Structure 1
Amino acid sequence: MTEFDLTIRNGLIVDGSGAEPYRGDIGIREGLIAAIGDDLPAAAQDIDASGLIVTPGFVDLHTHYDGQVTWEERLTPSCYHGVTTAVIGNCGVGFAPCLPERRDLLIRLMEGVEDIPYPVLAEGLPWTWTSFTDYLDVIASRRYDMDVAAYVPHAALRVHVMGERGAAREAATAEDLAEMAHLLGEALDAGALGIATSRTFFHRSSDGQAIPTYGAADAEMLALARVLREKGKGLFQIVEDVHLPDRSIAALAEIAREAQRPLTFSMGCSNSGPYAWPGLLEQLSAANAGGAVVKAQLMPRAIGMLLGFELTLNPFYTTATYKQLSALPLAERLARLRDPEVRAAILAEPVDPDPALVLGRMVRQFDTMFVLGERPDYEQPPERSIAGMAASRGISPEALAYDLMTRGGSGGKLYLAMANFADGRLDAVGAMLDHPDVVLGLGDGGAHVGTICDASYSTFALTHWVRDRPQGRKPLADIVRRMTSATASIAGFDDRGLLRPGLRADINLIDLDALALREPELRYDLPGGGRRLIQRADGYRATIVRGEVVSRDGEPSGARPGRLIRA
């Protein structure tokens, strides 16, 4: 018999703690790291990691695989980017608890907030649950290529207890709060990771209505926070418009103090000043110095979206003529769009003036709109923007964007950097990345399937911030820490996130020199033939979950050791 089931030899170990990398071997037995050292004994399986970095598997705190976990075993696209633990239920949207008569409401909420089409969810969800405990049992009965943990989604909880009053954002009564607290307590006992919610203006149902938790009173938040304190476990996740003058991180710190548990929120910056992010970093430091545990999640590149005639949005989707063509099959639509008369009509038409159509105006921000290319470049100079290229050619940016998106058999795609791109650069992101209470995340894996593919953020962080950026590069050990032990610690996962004997053997073997993002592609492989954007990567030589190799060189091995984590 051999001492180990698997040995990883000669790799550069980046252990997740932030300490300097070192060379060594890792011996794995029964899904755990059994030993780390030099010249470990032979194993049943050996992997030569010479020339590779060896990291803990990435712990992604912000995904939306709430539907996907009920019909799919591979959590695509996160599985292409070294993620070995995914947390679902973010932003307060999900599918449990849910009475049968409320299913349609939750589907339309997820469709609007997270851009997962109604037909995909209506056909894909089995709805073999009512309570959140039942939903966890469904996940626990299945096998995946990574581990999964789940928040209780506040919007679903609110609608379950309050019905139409909850959906209409009426104030919760004392009885409502008591019932929500009771159900949250039951869910925590069953293994829920915590409670997730949203009070941002941008989260809306597909019918345009604000998310049921938008404007939820502080009293409601504090009532939920007290359940975490009483149970002595759980994490509070929130999306809050902290950048607005009447909001602050201090209010989030109050929730964290009431819960006596960690709180994590989404952070970013606008593309133009005056900038709120320096003040928010000061508030974040003050909150943690005052005894609260508040951690910001940051997307390491611009918060953006992909635009195209095959995708959910494009710069012309609110014009009168395009609306008339939007339901046509893609090939027929592109043929019509290439007609010079149709092109002239659309370019002459204004966008829909409805002020509620925020995205309808944002998709015309040509100064921060780019062609990504086959090897995507997410930080391009202004002269390579659609506006910059159009000016150099003496045409309007609308005309250039239109022509680029009508190229080829399925039309071209453009990338819009909506936020985190202050003054046309990622310098502000780099400054935020240096803060001790900031971790990497917000990839939204499983969501926004027709507009973004940010689940690749981990690969981007390693290529752009560690290896490629001309100025302001970050230490490899620190970037790895912010995606492994730092995120695992927030969630209370004390069995992973570090390469240490006795901890989980969730491991990535990465060729950092060869690591590269591929161009986003569309697949029509969701239930009902639904589409989704997928972005793959080169350079992940192996990803290991619970001691089993789940992928080699980006291709699945067939192993499914991932399970539900009951917190």
Structure 2
Amino acid sequence: MKTIAHDMVIRGGLVIDGSGSPAFRADVAINGGRITAIGPIEGSGKEEIDAADCLVTPGFVDVHTHYDGQATWEHTLAPSSGHGVTTVVTGNCGVGFAPVRPSDHQVLIKVMEGVEDIPEVVMAEGISWNWETFPDYLDVLSVREFDIDVATQIPHSPLRVYVMGQRGADHEPSTPEDRVAMAKLVTEAVQAGAIGVSTSRSPGHRLKNGKLAPSIDSADEEILALASGLKEAGAGVFQIITNASGNPAEEISLVRKLAETSQRPVSFTLLQVPRAPEDWRISLKHVEQANADGLAIRGQVFPRPVGVLLGLDLSLNPFLTRLSYRAIEKLPLAERVAILRDPAFKAKLLAEVPIPDPQPMLNELCAQVNEMFVLDDRAEYTPPADKLICNLAASAGVSAESLAYDLLLGDEGKAILYLPGANYVGNTLNAVREMMASPYTILGLGDGGAHYGLICDASYPTFMLTHWVRDASPEQRFPIEWAISELSRKPAEAVGLMDRGLLKPGMKADVNVINLDRLRLSAPRTAYDLPSGGRRLQQRAEGYVATVVSGMVTYRNGKATGALPGRLVRRQQAQQQSVQGREGVRP
């Protein structure tokens, strides 16, 4: 009879340790929330997991999420936590909820409502606002419990409003004194434990009334002041959304200046956009040169098409800007479906000219009916061109709009149309594969905690393992060891979380046990489980046998166990614990 010698032992799995090294079969022992041994393990565990037919991997790290609000009202950071993710980084894109003065709560709510598609009523009910400074916000998060760990960044838009008040919200130029104050607050936040600072230059980041988010048109001098705050702190990372409509060389020139000024790592969004499908190559070429010159710059890449989802039960649908639809949009779904099924109402609506919305991106998305697909239960994110609505409509002898109208009525009005908003030009992922393969990119852009009724991309780790590792053709397939490293150790290192993303004695015991053969991604479905009954998209996966956070099983066969070992991760804590763990554990 074996003596109980460990808190947990994961037995007989194929270990893929996150380093990129070849897989090997071994047991993994866990004690005190850390990995203590890997190999043949003597002695039993208080809890044992049979991994004989499974992969054993580090927990995944998602560096681009927006759980800033959700982390204050909820303990489950879904959908990310259901896809093997054990650590998320929030505060991206220059938006968030701290620092903030009481008089500006509504300003930040309006920004997040427009930029990240979080309903105002959800934030009004869900956020406690028991903080003002960014260190205050960290302190609030530090006493909360989650199913996964949370790290965060100080965002530019709240920072600008905090320093400049209404002048900041109204996009007035910052003064030298304003910029000095912003830099000091960045330093303060990083010293208190923030992972870094973020900003956005995207003209698509707007309030619902069409007004740009506060950071968008800030002068370069102001953005560089944030970088100087990182330099003063001597730590942290800089995350930026560049202007995809701008000159890519000029945008990367600014990114380079940020790296030079801060002397810290910088990451930016790297996508293939239909308007300029080759611009990503120009950006990546400049990034390669910057790294050759000694700067740490990475492009954040999304491994599948950016999935804009439209439906009658979601934030957008192709007919949202038609006068007839506007007249019924507030009705319950069943009542709207009944009205929409009337042939006379359909004919009237289709004959109408769309009324432009104050948000240009909304108009653009709603108008792209020809480029949409139906998202079925298989969650097919890379459908062939013959499944385009325009091609299906042509075969049926009807207009694309007429077909889209009828399709939206499927499943009692819960059908979803899928628009690959980026990364799927020419109905291929060839550009995405090239971007991912670069040593100067990291995976990201899942946007968990945001776009509740428009995008559900936090499931990308499951897509990565099914599409790119298991199901891809031999010439397109990535090795499993490479993919796991890209999901775990590489993003962790990119943001300075050095105590995780690697299965090694002394490292934090965040582990996934995955049956790759059974791994399956379900289609997104709506749930009304946010504060005030707010709606969000959820997406589940099969094949995750167990997810372990700090040595505790949080998910077993896709179902939450109720364990909440996740905590706020302060930057210094992740680095210090890594050193202590390596020194305190026998290999």
Distance in 1 (CA, whole Å) between partners of 2:277 and 2:556 is: 46
Which deviations, in whole Å up to 9, do the C-alpha atoms of 1:231-287 show, x marking residues without a partner? 111110110125622633232011012111111111100236552122222111111
Distance in 1 (CA, whole Å) between partners of 2:133 and 2:441 is: 34
- Confirm or deny: 8 A CA contact 1:74 1:145 kept in the other structure: yes
When residues 178 and 326 of structure 1 are mapped into structure 2, their CA distance, relative to the original with a 3 A threshold, is same
- Return the letter of the residue paired with 1:539: G
- Confirm or deny: 8 A CA contact 1:14 1:21 kept in the other structure: yes
Query: Equivalent residues in 2 for 1:230-241 (5 A)?
Result: 230-241=232-243
The aligned residue for residue 476 of structure 1 is 480
| Residues paired across the two proteins, number | 567
The aligned residue for residue 575 of structure 2 is none
Query: Equivalent residues in 2 for 1:447-458 (5 A)?
Result: 447-458=450-461
The aligned residue for residue 180 of structure 1 is 182
Distance in 2 (CA, whole Å) between partners of 1:437 and 1:62 is: 17
Distance in 2 (CA, whole Å) between partners of 1:369 and 1:242 is: 21
Distance in 1 (CA, whole Å) between partners of 2:32 and 2:273 is: 47
When residues 184 and 273 of structure 1 are mapped into structure 2, their CA distance, relative to the original with a 3 A threshold, is closer
- Return the letter of the residue paired with 2:353: P
Query: Equivalent residues in 2 for 1:520-535 (5 A)?
Result: 520-535=524-539
Which deviations, in whole Å up to 9, do the C-alpha atoms of 1:399-449 show, x marking residues without a partner? 111101012323311111111111111111111111011111101001000
The aligned residue for residue 580 of structure 2 is none
The aligned residue for residue 215 of structure 1 is 217
SS in 1 for 2:57: strand
Aligned with 2:374 (options 357, 371, 377): 371
Aligned with 1:489 (options 485, 490, 493): 493
The 4+ residue runs of structure 1 with deviation greater than 4 A are 353-356
Aligned with 1:78 (options 72, 77, 80): 80
> Is the counterpart of residue 302 in structure 1 residue 311 in structure 2?
no
The aligned residue for residue 155 of structure 1 is 157
- Confirm or deny: 8 A CA contact 2:57 2:484 kept in the other structure: yes
SS in 1 for 2:411: coil
Which deviations, in whole Å up to 9, do the C-alpha atoms of 1:168-226 show, x marking residues without a partner? 11111111112112222221121111111101101011221101111211211221111
The aligned residue for residue 548 of structure 2 is 544
SS in 1 for 2:421: strand
The offset of 1:39, in angstroms, is 4.3
The offset of 1:86, in angstroms, is 0.7
Query: Equivalent residues in 2 for 1:58-97 (5 A)?
Result: 58-97=60-99
When residues 199 and 272 of structure 1 are mapped into structure 2, their CA distance, relative to the original with a 3 A threshold, is closer
> Is the counterpart of residue 460 in structure 1 residue 463 in structure 2?
yes
Aligned with 1:116 (options 115, 118, 121): 118
SS in 2 for 1:524: strand
Distance in 1 (CA, whole Å) between partners of 2:74 and 2:392 is: 42
- Return the letter of the residue paired with 2:557: D
> Is the counterpart of residue 505 in structure 1 residue 509 in structure 2?
yes
Aligned with 1:253 (options 249, 253, 256): 256
The aligned residue for residue 445 of structure 1 is 448
The offset of 1:356, in angstroms, is 5.2
The aligned residue for residue 417 of structure 1 is 420
The offset of 1:562, in angstroms, is 0.6
Distance in 2 (CA, whole Å) between partners of 1:354 and 1:60 is: 33
Distance in 2 (CA, whole Å) between partners of 1:299 and 1:358 is: 20
When residues 356 and 114 of structure 1 are mapped into structure 2, their CA distance, relative to the original with a 3 A threshold, is closer
SS in 2 for 1:136: helix
Aligned with 1:519 (options 518, 523, 537): 523
Distance in 2 (CA, whole Å) between partners of 1:10 and 1:526 is: 40
- Confirm or deny: 8 A CA contact 2:89 2:153 kept in the other structure: yes
When residues 468 and 240 of structure 1 are mapped into structure 2, their CA distance, relative to the original with a 3 A threshold, is same
The offset of 1:4, in angstroms, is 1.4
- Return the letter of the residue paired with 1:525: D
> Is the counterpart of residue 554 in structure 1 residue 558 in structure 2?
yes
- Confirm or deny: 8 A CA contact 1:115 1:448 kept in the other structure: yes
The aligned residue for residue 190 of structure 1 is 192
Which deviations, in whole Å up to 9, do the C-alpha atoms of 1:442-490 show, x marking residues without a partner? 0100100001110001101111111112351111111111111110001
The offset of 1:322, in angstroms, is 0.8
TM-score (normalizing by structure 1): 0.98
Distance in 2 (CA, whole Å) between partners of 1:448 and 1:467 is: 29
Distance in 1 (CA, whole Å) between partners of 2:93 and 2:309 is: 21
Distance in 1 (CA, whole Å) between partners of 2:188 and 2:282 is: 38
Which deviations, in whole Å up to 9, do the C-alpha atoms of 1:90-119 show, x marking residues without a partner? 111111111111000000000000000000
The aligned residue for residue 568 of structure 2 is 564
Which 10-residue stretch deviates more, 95-104 or 241-250? Answer: 241-250
SS in 1 for 2:112: helix
When residues 523 and 263 of structure 1 are mapped into structure 2, their CA distance, relative to the original with a 3 A threshold, is same
- Return the letter of the residue paired with 1:397: A
Distance in 2 (CA, whole Å) between partners of 1:242 and 1:530 is: 31
- Confirm or deny: 8 A CA contact 2:65 2:447 kept in the other structure: yes
SS in 2 for 1:223: helix
The aligned residue for residue 137 of structure 1 is 139
Distance in 1 (CA, whole Å) between partners of 2:291 and 2:216 is: 26
- Confirm or deny: 8 A CA contact 1:307 1:415 kept in the other structure: yes
Distance in 1 (CA, whole Å) between partners of 2:179 and 2:352 is: 49
Distance in 2 (CA, whole Å) between partners of 1:182 and 1:459 is: 40
> Is the counterpart of residue 35 in structure 1 residue 51 in structure 2?
no
Aligned with 2:365 (options 362, 366, 373): 362
Distance in 2 (CA, whole Å) between partners of 1:513 and 1:364 is: 39
The aligned residue for residue 349 of structure 1 is 352
- Return the letter of the residue paired with 1:472: Q
The aligned residue for residue 582 of structure 2 is none
SS in 2 for 1:409: helix
Q: Note the residue ranges of structure 1 that are not aligned, 5 or more in a row.
A: none
Distance in 2 (CA, whole Å) between partners of 1:220 and 1:529 is: 39
Distance in 2 (CA, whole Å) between partners of 1:355 and 1:465 is: 39
The aligned residue for residue 395 of structure 1 is 398
TM-score (normalizing by structure 2): 0.94
Aligned with 2:290 (options 270, 287, 292): 287
- Confirm or deny: 8 A CA contact 1:368 1:424 kept in the other structure: no
Q: Note the residue ranges of structure 2 that are not aligned, 5 or more in a row.
A: 572-587
The aligned residue for residue 433 of structure 2 is 430
- Confirm or deny: 8 A CA contact 2:209 2:358 kept in the other structure: no
- Return the letter of the residue paired with 2:62: D
When residues 273 and 94 of structure 1 are mapped into structure 2, their CA distance, relative to the original with a 3 A threshold, is closer
Distance in 2 (CA, whole Å) between partners of 1:349 and 1:364 is: 13
- Return the letter of the residue paired with 1:119: V
The offset of 1:290, in angstroms, is 1.1
- Confirm or deny: 8 A CA contact 1:108 1:207 kept in the other structure: no
The aligned residue for residue 266 of structure 1 is 269
SS in 1 for 2:100: coil
- Confirm or deny: 8 A CA contact 1:250 1:287 kept in the other structure: no
Distance in 2 (CA, whole Å) between partners of 1:273 and 1:159 is: 33
SS in 2 for 1:419: coil
SS in 1 for 2:8: strand
